[in-house]
Structure 1
């Protein structure tokens, strides 16, 4: 499953998201929206204005969401 975390520098919620994903051993790609204008437009198109934005094949959300990360961990384990 492909997981992308759209982020920006000095983002506390982004760092918390990385830690939660790392703790569960979940692999992900990081895209800095301050360096990639197409990525910024993509997440705006999804309706988000706040980092991080996590996009999976089946879902997407904004902010640090331990509940979503736990659900993702369960889905990957099955």
Structure 2
């Protein structure tokens, strides 16, 4: 069973959009959470990833943050490890 994937985003964020396109292209189902719309979601992201800026991608309990270019090789490796 694949690990749950959550992408914490903000509006008008090119890296957020790139992460989502990357996951969609690979057929990865994910939940998107907008941290700007909901203070509780921002607090959740901070608690899970210990960062305050989106995008943050969580695969299970493993967190990835930074620009899409920073995240991409790490996401590719994590998805491979999980059979995606």
TM over 0.5: yes
Segments of 4+ moved more than 3 angstroms: none
| Superposition deviation, residue 50 in structure 1 | 1.5
Q: Aligned residue pairs: how many?
A: 78
Alignment of 1:1-78 (within 5 A): 1-45=3-47, 46-63=49-66, 64=68, 65-77=71-83
C-alpha distance in structure 2 between counterparts of 1:49 and 1:62, whole Å: 10
TM (norm. structure 2) is 0.81
Unaligned runs of 5+ in 1: none
Unaligned runs of 5+ in 2: none
- What is the SS of the residue equivalent to 1:40? helix
| Superposition deviation, residue 5 in structure 1 | 0.3
TM (norm. structure 1) is 0.86
Per-residue deviation, residues 12-40 of structure 1 (Å, max 9, x unmatched): 11011011111111111000011121110
Q: Determine if contact 2:55/2:65 at 8 Å carries over to the other structure.
A: yes
